Structure 1
Amino acid sequence: MPGPTESASESGSIIRLPTPTSFPFPYPKPYDIQLELMQTVFRAIEDGKIAIVESPTGTGKSLSLLTSTLTWLDQHQKRLSEVYTQEMREKLRDDDPTEPGWVIEHSIKMKLDNMRAEEEVRLERLTKAREREKKIRRNMGLSGNRGLVNKKSKSTSSQVESNTKTQRKDKATTVDEDEFLPDDSQVRGEDDQGPYLSKEVRDLMEKYEASRPKAKQEETEEEDLPKIYYTSRTHTQLRQLTSELLKTSFPLRDGLDGDDDATPDQSSGASPGLSSSSSKGRGVSLVPLGSRKQLCINDKVRAMAKNGGDERLNEACLDMQKSGKARCEFLPSKAEEGIMLDARDAVLASVKDIEDIVAIGRKSCVCPYYATRRAVKQSQIVTLPYNLLLQKNAREALDINLKDQVIVIDEAHNLIDTLLSIYSTSLTSTTISSAIAQLQQYLARFKNRLKSVHALKIRQVLSLLNGLLEVCRTFIIQNQNGQAKGEGGARLKSEVMNANHLMEKIGKGTDQLNPLELVDYLKESKLARKISGFSEFLAEQNSSKEEKVSRTSSQRHASIASFHIVESFLLSLVDARDDGRVILSPLGTGTEKGSTSTSTSTVEIKYVLLNPAERFKEVVEEARSVILAGGTMEPISDFLQQLFPSLPRSQFSTLSCSHVIPKENLLTQVVCVGPRKTEFDFRFSNRENDMLLTELGSVIQSVIGLVPDGVVVFLPSYAFLDKVKSTWTSSGLMAKLAEKKSLFFEPQTSGDVESTLRDYALAISSGNAIGEKSKKTGALMFAVVGGKLSEGINFSDTLGRCVVMVGLPFANVGSVELQERMRYVETLPGNGKDASREMYENLCMRAVNQSIGRAIRHANDYATILLVDKRYGTPRIKNKLPKWIGEDVKIQNDFGSVARNVALFFREKREKEKRLF
């Protein structure tokens, strides 16, 4: 990571920003922890450090991050103005030391005036964009920044979808098969158009092309302004951030809620040399980046890709930009550059979320996807999901330059797992077979039209895939032979190797293969896109001939996407260093003792990244500063060891904030025993113990009688939830619980989460009004740690007056993937065997901390937390709880004390509420 931007003045002193004692916070007085967090973040950015900050949910973390980063950006912009003026003065003096001072100052003034004039033009463009936006909103019958909907587009979309079948039939007859031929791009050979050219001649031609004057549009490349890249896990979280930004004095506004001239005096985002003084139209502009799936407004493309997934949508979009193709009606051509600039300005004109930009794009008939990409350089804050920032190819596709920029990663407790996930890929032997069949079919159709260089490369790819399939077959046979020699009914074993070992296995008998060259060829020729497009074309032809299609659309998509999956896996292998493993695991049938048949056996091949630091290193080295923030970042040691193993500790700033709630609003107890003195130890081997489950049931039954409104019980796994449900239903306990509170269970599908939460909240708000004879007082929700309700869901106020955490949700230590990861952690500098145990516990406790943090969501909230397992009382585990929870934990070896404390806690709250009202 580069150091802070430091500029020397004439005397050699360094311009350095002091840490503010106050910030333009949107509320009269920030909490002490908010001020501390803002100062920590500001200082880390100025000093070019990495900050790891923990601020519990409900403490205004997002507002504090926005205020501190944008305050720094504003002051940095003013500093750039001063530095630019000084550097210009020094350059003019160096050019001509005899030049009088008044001439130099006059030259500086003229240049600054020119820059101010350019800035005024930019601001005028934004003002006009806001005027156009207001007209569009009025035509749509709306005002404000939220909830823009284009009624016309809905009817258009439905009309297009109703014509999809017709389009598919037409496509089968209108498609020119030459479009499925590989792209030549950088692929060169003897049969390319024109005479054969030697490598030396080609190099000279490339140098000549590079030295030629570029087109006029390229000469005036837009300046990439200093900015904040703000990332989070989901678009929902980023949408909430947009709402938080509108509370502050920073953003550009559209004037719909008041006078346009009421724009606050904040950073102008002006070019260097301009002041940040108050001016109409100035402020911080935000650009939300998303995928084509979220931003595409071409209903024909969306309809084509409806059953083909994101990959098909991307391909359809790119296909419509090729010369000779019917161009997308929403994407202006180069000759219509002014239209795209207007769309860019519309994005920058006021703070909007993705839904707003899509609605405006539909009304103005200009592509929101490319408009947002075009607006990035001129913005001061860019929001985007993790994956778009963390993947190098995604950054390149979006033309994101992180050089000397500030990166904020919110909800960063998931960062390590996210990095490992997006760089890990898997495929099955069935997918490989499907890809081989597609490639053979493709080669048979186009062999007479392929240039020799393409035919050669495609046969090499086919040879590589056959080698990969042979590795799978050999793996199954060796496992089954091992079983036949005396292992009995033992399950087939997994095999672990590094990427080089797998390549050696694939390359046996194929010495001519160079996997690195083949992967380069796949990228340059876009072969995966060509083959999937051709496969879909054939599928459409077949479906148009048959009245009934035997395969479902998802099955057909899986078949068409096979080669894309294989390509992704090969890219991972070639990119692999010593920090990944390849795991072969058996799936499916055909594993009976003594069987040598592999026809019904399926093998999964998975490339697993073990070292997230190497992939994150590029981001860290490019950026000026990286801020990792979250509500539960503890244990922080994982981030230091696994993400930044080679950086000195002096390069970090860390902060773990306490909570804004008063201590009397939180009661946390470790429940070591139940009413019958049975010790609670819910390790995996004890979870089938019916006596332990009965004791747990007694605890839940006692607690819900003492707690008003909502109670949430988190269990360590879905399997344990099913066990609890069946055991308590058989014993009649579930019916008894239902007499006291309405029962709800975490749904199996994500689509049912919203309706389940809505019914849960309704049951709580209804209270005794459910029925005159009902004794129910609220609701009881059973959820799973790491499941659909453990992150991103607020159980604030009455929704979560009590959170019960049952057991410790340790990951399956028998997982081959986890075992490899633990071994790798032990090899990191300064680590030993204890490091793997530390990582194992940290994985568990980070999930626990996320779940129990669901309850306290704001300063006036209150709740009790019950940790039902004696292991929570051990120092190792207790010290990994968040500081705002762990400081006052009561370890109870008598359940009577637990119940009395809970009863007293809520009695005091009822009495306090009576005094207030």
Structure 2
Amino acid sequence: INLWELEIMNPIKNEYLIEGYSVPFPYDAYKCQINYMQKILYSLKYKKHALLESPTGTGKTLCLLASTLAFQKHFLISHGSLKKPIENTSSAGVIKSEGGSIELMGVPRTVLENNKETKMDMLIPRIIYSSRTHSQLSQVMRELKSSGISDGFTIELFDTDAENKAKIEKSTSKKRPVIKGGKKLFKATILGSRDQLCVHPKISKFRGNALIKNCRKITKEGKCKYHNNLKQANTSGVAADIQDIEDLKNIASSSDSGYFCPFYATREIESVCNVVLLPYNYLLDSITRQNLKIDLNNTVLILDEAHNVESVSEEAYSFDLRDIDLALSQKAIQNILEATKLGLLQEKESDEQDSEVDISFDIEVAVALATGIHLLSRNLKEIPCPVPTNNNGSKFKSFPKMGEVQGTTYPGSHIYSLFASSGFGIDNFQAIDECLTNMINFGQNLVGPGGNVSSQLDVNSIQINARIGALERFQRCLRLTFNETVMKNPQWFKLYIHYEPDSYKEINGFDENGGQNSFVDPETTDQGLSLYLSFWCFSAAAALSSLVSAGVRSMIITSGTLSPLDTLAQQFSSSNVTFDVFLENDHVIDSESQLWAATLERGNSTNNTHLIGSYEARNNPSYFSSLGSVVFDCVKRIPDGILLFFGSYSLMDQAVKHWTDQGLIERIKAFKSVFIEPRNSFELGSVLDSYMDCIKKGADSSSQNDGYFKDKKAKSGLSDFVLKSKRISSSGSLLIAVCRGKVSEGINFSDNACRGVIIAGLPFPSIADARVCLKKQYMDESKMDGRQWYNQQAIRAVNQAIGRVVRHRNDYGAIILADKRFNQPNIYTRLSKWIRTNTKHLPQLDSRQLDNISDFFEKKLSITVNGTNCQSSEGNNNKEIPTKTLPSNITGNKTTLYGRNPSVVSFPNLSNEINTLLKRVENKNTTKEESKGEENNTNNKIIIPKPFPGLISKVSVPWKRVKTSSPCSESRNSTPWTFSSNKNESSIHENQKRTNFNIIPLEKMNYQEILNNSKNILKEDEFNRLKPYIQNLSQVNSNSLRSIANILFPSYIMDEKELTERKSLALELLKLLSNKYREEFRTMIEKMTSNIDMMKDKALVDALESEL
């Protein structure tokens, strides 16, 4: 009888046989997804390392999970033979024997001494899935949970009698053990930091080091109920049920599970999980990995979103040690030795006798350590190093010239000579490291409850914390220097001795008296400069080879932007790491029909300045004007959200300033709300919310008003063009950001959130940065082209930013590469494959190309109108952005009398078109009989002043129009026509004058009068929404002002009288606002009313065309 049966539950739609593995997949897989999974499974099958590029939107996450879990499941079935039950192992995921019952917990990870016949090949590999951020990992966990691909990990077994069980327990045969049925084998967890996982009401309010110290303190004192309850709480389901970080925090905070600490819980259950998710900096940093005790033996390691792995790996193996760090470290040791002499050590040992933290240390080693630090400080200052000077020769803040390195550079191996001359070597490193660890623990214990320090020490808590922090940094430097991988490969490093201005200290340093981010002790500085000992890594192979040495079976490095793969493989490879599997995957989209992409050399015909967003462009107003014309033309034609990426913050700031001074920003705001990426990450959330809110409100408004406009069309004969053009004024956002910023990666701008990406310039790393210069130098010395590496850094950042526009199979958008250098072969050929396929190379965006952009989005709109939804479909990773009905800024399919599709045009052009049409109507009507014209006369008339005297047309239109001096657009002031069906034209003119927003009377109405007027003018639901805002105007902010404006001016308003009444109401509200918000609200009103006017002009154009 077969005693081991694995029943695969199959809620999955499809299964694919790939490389001999049955891969369950919840959807119909695309060809590119099959190719991707084939490369993954080939790598796992033959223990290879892979570099796989697959564009954003191709379902990388799902493919990674489906293929690796299929491999793990297959391994479980085919390699599950064990000679006997295994007892009491420290490794998780093995067959454990508890109370006579046997349970397969998950993944075997070590070879057991009592089972010598078990080979490494029989151990089931564990999957470690890493990505750049916790938010990305939460998305992976949600994908894992919703896809159902882990549901097959369930054991079903036959019942057996006691005699059979006894035989198995005593058996020396090769029969497989009996396992009780119904055990779910799949377990997964996320390893996060305290910042993400702490649920303590008070402690969780701290951040960074403050959170760590306070957490350790209350757990050590037994005052954290969440930590205290960890062993008693019901955490068994945490690993079995797939939970993201928020789910885990909610469970841990619930009394149903008994309250427990999710931070410590995840570290305990990590050892019994098939899949562990964590940020890849936890893995690439050998010190962090060691502290977390992550076992990499026989693991499948996935590095997703790995376009940053190179920089993160190099940073993990680099350090900067300052002269102030050495000085503070000496003071820290002095304080600790003084505390020991005063007997505080024994006092603390007595207080913490139950603590697991060791605070005892060898005093002789401590004294030798202090001596060594003093010698290192002296030896460092004796190294010849140029000091930055100002023009008069005195020492001062200064930066090296472009492309120069202002400091002294040595090969990486020189670090050992420098440390040896100071008494630090591999022979005494272990003793020194242990002494440092215990001294740091002791120093942290010197700060008692409430931040108090013993009065016997002439030092305060701020000074102690600053000095202990410096000692921790020195310990990290020693650990990296004497790391086994570093010692074997010093050629990957450079030692750089240099001075930096005090601003660097203000960012990274501690002032003993003022705390963090204050000016540093002047006794340790020299004329406002700090001396740096920088040990910099220039090869990601240091981190990757360390991972393989730790036992990684296969490493899958993947992203949407890795190419060129050949040079990347060369940089990542070492003696024990080679990459044999490569893929530059196709996209799931049809680039020809779903992508409009072009490179540009110049702005437009009126400005022939070349678009070259270089460092020198900052001082060229003509460049910003040329770029601004491109942006403005795109804003008028691309619907919904647009992302504009600059190469640097400085270039972005210069552009925004120039466009603001020239009035371009205000012109853009007539079509879209404008947002700018903040430098501070904590402000980004609110900016993105506002950006999306403007897009969503417009799309929702368009959807809700479809019925209204269809009714209008039936009554007035409005064309499809007018129905679509109404959306131009109702939504849209422009977000100005930088490549390599937070907006350019990790955020899902799906569907309407991004219909266009404009790249302004190339984001080359700063050539003034010494680290960039030394990296180029290292690449040349290693026979890898330093210039090519420099170009690749910019192109990879561009590829990443471009990836925001297409997020799934049915997504679409436009890509404008607004820089002449994109036409250069060494730049263009490095763009992602799916972008290169259908990109046009244009000298500029002329009228024909602008019409092509309009046509592209009109076709997408027509597909949606005809019943095919162009939004996301099931099976794609696009759940964060709500599905919209129609793009907002769109033009019609109607062919005009000019034989082309009409595009969104500026006010002067539209006025010219109206005048042309009116002239044609005049010519047409002069040939008709006067009696026929009178017979068909209606109430709605077009009254044409000079130069068309006497012309009265029977054109039927759905609204009433008069000439006015609208402040919303200067171009409208010169419109040479009026149009009205109201006999009392003068009253309308007077009313219009009263609502001119450039004239603000001083008198004010009271709140009750405004409420009464609002009730008479607005619809009931609009009044109910507006009322709370009017009653709380004293608490107004930008968001509430935007809400008020949206209520007052919905996109369906087409009646002149109603619009005038709403303008009057807006004016009364404006007078009640403070000066702080008055101008902002005025701008909102002008934008909305000008958009409505433009929409009505388009309706007139359409009506005139119909007449012809």
What is the TM-score when the length of structure 1 is the normalising length?
A: 0.72
**Residues 794/19 of structure 1: CA separation in 2 closer, same or farther (3 Å cut):** same
Paired position in structure 1 for 2:210: 309
Give 2:558's match in structure 1, choosing from 629, 635, 644: 629
Paired position in structure 2 for 1:606: 534
After superposition, give the CA deviation of every residue in 1:318-363 in whole Å (9 maximum; x if it has no partner): x82xxxx759665579xxxxx8497563333321223333443444
Contact in 2 for aligned 1:55/1:659 (Cα 8 Å): no
SS at match of 2:757: strand
Amino acid at match of 1:667: W
Give 2:407's match in structure 1, choosing from 483, 494, 499: 494
State the shift of 1:787 in Å: 0.8
Amino acid at match of 1:872: F
**CA distance in structure 1 between the aligned counterparts of 2:444 and 2:503, rounded to whole angstroms:** 34
**CA distance in structure 2 between the aligned counterparts of 1:498 and 1:572, rounded to whole angstroms:** 16
**CA distance in structure 2 between the aligned counterparts of 1:340 and 1:667, rounded to whole angstroms:** 58
1:458 equivalent in alignment to 2:366: yes
**CA distance in structure 2 between the aligned counterparts of 1:643 and 1:269, rounded to whole angstroms:** 46
After superposition, give the CA deviation of every residue in 1:222-265 in whole Å (9 maximum; x if it has no partner): x985321111111111111111111333436xxxxxxxxxxx46
After superposition, give the CA deviation of every residue in 1:700-726 in whole Å (9 maximum; x if it has no partner): 111111111111100011111111111
Paired position in structure 2 for 1:147: none
**CA distance in structure 2 between the aligned counterparts of 1:784 and 1:298, rounded to whole angstroms:** 37
State the shift of 1:385 in Å: 1.2
After superposition, give the CA deviation of every residue in 1:445-467 in whole Å (9 maximum; x if it has no partner): 22466899823222222223323
Paired position in structure 1 for 2:285: 391
1:702 equivalent in alignment to 2:596: no
Give 2:642's match in structure 1, choosing from 694, 699, 711: 711
Contact in 1 for aligned 2:757/2:805 (Cα 8 Å): yes
Paired position in structure 2 for 1:656: 585
State the shift of 1:660 in Å: 3.3
Give 2:816's match in structure 1, choosing from 862, 866, 871: 866
After superposition, give the CA deviation of every residue in 1:882-909 in whole Å (9 maximum; x if it has no partner): 1111111111113215423212212222
Amino acid at match of 1:287: T
Paired position in structure 2 for 1:68: 67
The count of corresponding residues between Structure 1 and Structure 2 is: 743
**CA distance in structure 1 between the aligned counterparts of 2:392 and 2:822, rounded to whole angstroms:** 45
**CA distance in structure 2 between the aligned counterparts of 1:590 and 1:50, rounded to whole angstroms:** 43
**CA distance in structure 1 between the aligned counterparts of 2:69 and 2:503, rounded to whole angstroms:** 61
**Residues 368/909 of structure 1: CA separation in 2 closer, same or farther (3 Å cut):** closer
Contact in 2 for aligned 1:266/1:276 (Cα 8 Å): no
Contact in 2 for aligned 1:711/1:801 (Cα 8 Å): yes
Contact in 1 for aligned 2:751/2:811 (Cα 8 Å): yes
**CA distance in structure 1 between the aligned counterparts of 2:437 and 2:156, rounded to whole angstroms:** 43
**CA distance in structure 1 between the aligned counterparts of 2:853 and 2:559, rounded to whole angstroms:** 29
Larger Rg belongs to: 2
1:841 equivalent in alignment to 2:742: no
**Residues 837/268 of structure 1: CA separation in 2 closer, same or farther (3 Å cut):** farther
Contact in 2 for aligned 1:682/1:869 (Cα 8 Å): yes
Unaligned 5+ residue runs, structure 1? 1-16, 89-113, 127-213, 215-222, 253-263, 334-338
Range moving further from structure 2, 498-507 or 870-879: 498-507
State the shift of 1:396 in Å: 3.5
State the shift of 1:582 in Å: 2.9
SS at match of 2:631: helix
SS at match of 1:792: coil
Contact in 1 for aligned 2:82/2:176 (Cα 8 Å): no
**CA distance in structure 2 between the aligned counterparts of 1:495 and 1:803, rounded to whole angstroms:** 43
**CA distance in structure 2 between the aligned counterparts of 1:854 and 1:773, rounded to whole angstroms:** 23
Please give the root-mean-square deviation of Cα atoms over the aligned residues, in Å: 4.3
State the shift of 1:628 in Å: 1.2
Paired position in structure 1 for 2:697: 766
**CA distance in structure 1 between the aligned counterparts of 2:451 and 2:557, rounded to whole angstroms:** 48
Give 1:285's match in structure 2, choosing from 187, 194, 205: 187
Paired position in structure 2 for 1:891: 841
SS at match of 2:146: coil
State the shift of 1:694 in Å: 0.8
Paired position in structure 2 for 1:143: none
1:796 equivalent in alignment to 2:755: no
State the shift of 1:655 in Å: 4.3
Range moving further from structure 2, 404-413 or 474-483: 474-483
**CA distance in structure 2 between the aligned counterparts of 1:885 and 1:269, rounded to whole angstroms:** 52
**Residues 453/227 of structure 1: CA separation in 2 closer, same or farther (3 Å cut):** closer
Amino acid at match of 1:562: A
1:673 equivalent in alignment to 2:586: no
Range moving further from structure 2, 686-695 or 430-439: 430-439
Paired position in structure 2 for 1:379: 273
Paired position in structure 2 for 1:139: none
What is the TM-score when the length of structure 2 is the normalising length?
A: 0.61
1:355 equivalent in alignment to 2:246: yes
**Residues 122/265 of structure 1: CA separation in 2 closer, same or farther (3 Å cut):** same
SS at match of 1:23: strand
1:241 equivalent in alignment to 2:140: yes
**Residues 228/737 of structure 1: CA separation in 2 closer, same or farther (3 Å cut):** same
**CA distance in structure 2 between the aligned counterparts of 1:71 and 1:910, rounded to whole angstroms:** 41
Contact in 2 for aligned 1:483/1:490 (Cα 8 Å): no
**CA distance in structure 1 between the aligned counterparts of 2:201 and 2:127, rounded to whole angstroms:** 33
**CA distance in structure 1 between the aligned counterparts of 2:578 and 2:330, rounded to whole angstroms:** 50
After superposition, give the CA deviation of every residue in 1:348-400 in whole Å (9 maximum; x if it has no partner): 33212233334434442444344333333332111111122223343343333
SS at match of 1:420: helix
SS at match of 2:273: coil
**CA distance in structure 2 between the aligned counterparts of 1:744 and 1:906, rounded to whole angstroms:** 23
**Residues 495/898 of structure 1: CA separation in 2 closer, same or farther (3 Å cut):** farther
Contact in 2 for aligned 1:292/1:313 (Cα 8 Å): no
Identity of aligned residues (%): 26
- Whichever structure has more helix as a proportion of its residues is 1
SS at match of 2:740: coil
SS at match of 1:790: coil
Paired position in structure 1 for 2:478: 570
SS at match of 2:58: coil
State the shift of 1:427 in Å: 3.8
Contact in 2 for aligned 1:808/1:848 (Cα 8 Å): yes
Contact in 2 for aligned 1:439/1:531 (Cα 8 Å): no
Give 1:805's match in structure 2, choosing from 744, 756, 759: 759
State the shift of 1:38 in Å: 1.4
**Residues 838/442 of structure 1: CA separation in 2 closer, same or farther (3 Å cut):** same
Paired position in structure 2 for 1:737: 668
**CA distance in structure 1 between the aligned counterparts of 2:396 and 2:304, rounded to whole angstroms:** 50
Give 1:405's match in structure 2, choosing from 291, 299, 312: 299
Amino acid at match of 2:76: Q
**Residues 794/268 of structure 1: CA separation in 2 closer, same or farther (3 Å cut):** farther
1:643 equivalent in alignment to 2:545: no
**CA distance in structure 1 between the aligned counterparts of 2:314 and 2:288, rounded to whole angstroms:** 16
1:242-641 pair list within 5 angstroms: 242-251=141-150, 264=152, 280-296=182-198, 308-309=209-210, 311-312=212-213, 315-316=216-217, 320=220, 340=231, 345-362=236-253, 363-447=257-341, 454-470=362-378, 473-474=381-382, 479=387, 491=399, 493-498=406-411, 501-502=414-415, 504-505=417-418, 514=425, 517-518=428-429, 520-524=431-435, 526-530=437-441, 532-534=443-445, 536-537=447-448, 540-541=451-452, 558=466, 560-575=468-483, 576-577=486-487, 578=490, 579-588=492-501, 598=526, 600-621=528-549, 622-641=551-570
Give 1:231's match in structure 2, choosing from 113, 130, 135: 130
